[in-house]
Amino acid sequence: MDTPDLRTADKTLLAHAMQDARNYTISLLDEFAAWPDGVGVEGVRSPNPLHPPCLAIINPPLWELGHVAWFTEYWCQRYRGAAAAPRAACLPDADRWYDSRHVPHDSRWRLDLPDWAGTRHYLQDTLASALDALRALPEKDHALYFHRLALFHEDMHGEAFHYTRQTLAWPAADGLSDLAPAGDIELAGGEFLMGSPPTGKGFVFDNEKWAHPQRVASFAISATPVRNSDYLAFVEADGYRQPQWWSESGQAWLAASGQTMPRYWRRKDGAWQQRRFADWVDLAPADAVIHLTAHEAEAWCRWSGRRLPSEAEWEYAALHASDFDWGNHVWEWTASAFAPYPGFSPDPYAEYAEPFFHTHRSVRGGSFATRSRMRNPRYRNYYEPQRDDIFVGFRSCPAG
């Protein structure tokens, strides 16, 4: 069910995809529930899912699993429109526990949540009810909107669990691989419709509304993201200690973080290594560089005489260049602030994008942990520029 881009999935395919996503979520729960305290990287004890540290960049797994179930139930069955109170939850305290709009992040470690078995039942029951509701719906895009939203929301959290594994040095399979040979793609540019059209078929995230004319000048852009070997040259040239390559905000980030190399890199016994989940491995020269802030990406670009692409250039290339390799390795920073398109209006899940406009940076593409059905050339991801825990890298354009 991880077929490319399920935005236009009919009821049958959508039901199979929702079951597939829930099977994966429940497999995570079963794994975490059975996981004893273990030994992590170099003998340091790896945190147990029952007692993860309170960090701003992760959620406690037991809460996050319950939140996934709550989201499906709320939007697929309980929501009755902005003017009406939602229907009652199947768990009396579900809103108090799992509604991320009203449950502060740090409080999620202190809630009297159901145990693993209770959370598993909640995941099973909410999916069964959502699929029952789906069968009664007409085969229309507007009718299937919330079930498609719930599917993609669950896939986002599936990827977020990979971030948690990396942050906490929990074991996982690594999906990185060598990139194709490097090279720039020359594009003539011109006017195109950026964003999703209101007359199109299928699901649209509200931050893609609506398609609007956008002109880009002729430009060149790398066919692939930047590699470890490319970025290593900047590190070995002492680029982290040379302020001329760093923006003002980048210098502030350097001073606060104290980093002299990318997160999860080290030099040991004369060799460069990188931590991939629970293991330190030799740095693979041809792999995409990963776990970089936007500040680091921009510094490398200045040092190498290049620049980050704008969000419009990235989308234009993804739509017009057949050899533009995207979505399979790392998310990609762009030079553009995350901002609303002309004509934007929030959808019922108004907290999805609107609160993050103008404070976050637009990120495009997808990572090895992104489900294929999520990938779309118009999909807009977004993070604060100092984030480097996500599976993010970048590609570049010649400057000037």
CATH class in words for 11-167: mainly alpha
In tens, the pLDDT along 219-228 reads: 999 999 999 9
Tens of pLDDT, residues 54-99:
999 999 999 999 999 999 999 999 999 999 999 999 999 999 999 9
The helix or strand, by DSSP H or E, that contains position 336, with its residue range, turns out to be: strand 331-337
**Cα separation of 33 and 117, whole Å?**
9
| Residue 396 and residue 303 in contact, taking contact as beta carbons nearer than 8 Å | no
What span, in angstroms and rounded, lies between the C-alpha atoms of 121 and 66? 10
Per-residue pLDDT, 200: 83
Residues 284, 228 contacting (CB under 8 angstroms): yes
Q: Contact at 8 Å (CB) between 286 and 228?
A: yes
In angstroms, rounded to a whole number, what is the distance separating the alpha carbons of residues 390 and 330?
9
Could you tell me which of 335, 336, 338, 333 has the C-alpha nearest to residue 393?
333
pLDDT of residue 39: 45
Phi and psi at residue 80, to the nearest 5°? -125, 20
User: Which tokens belong to 272?
Assistant: 């460069």
CATH of 184-398 among 3.90.550.10, 3.30.70.1890, 3.90.1580.10, 3.40.50.150? 3.90.1580.10
In this structure, the dihedral spanned by the alpha carbons of residues 146, 150, 153 and 157, taken in order and rounded to 10 degrees, is 170
Q: How far apart are CA 338 and CA 340, in angstroms?
A: 7
Q: Which two tokens stand for residue 369?
A: 């942990």
Closest CA to 72 of 13, 14, 142: 14
CB atoms within 10 A of CB 135: 9
Amino acid 77: pLDDT? 96
pLDDT value, residue 152: 98
| 63 φ, ψ (degrees, to nearest 5) | -70, -45
Residue type, 376: N
356, 359, 361, 364 alpha-carbon torsion, rounded to 10°: 0
Per-domain boundaries in the chain: 11-167, 184-398
Give the contacts of 28 (CB within 8 A, at least 6 positions apart): 61, 65, 158, 161
| pLDDT for residue 171 | 87
Cis preceding linkage at 272, omega within 30 = no
pLDDT value of residue 46? 56
Taking the chain (400 residues) in runs of 10, the rounded mean pLDDT of each run is 85 97 96 70 60 92 97 97 94 97 96 96 98 97 97 98 94 90 94 93 96 98 98 98 98 97 97 95 97 98 98 98 95 98 96 97 97 96 98 96
Residues present in the chain in total? 400
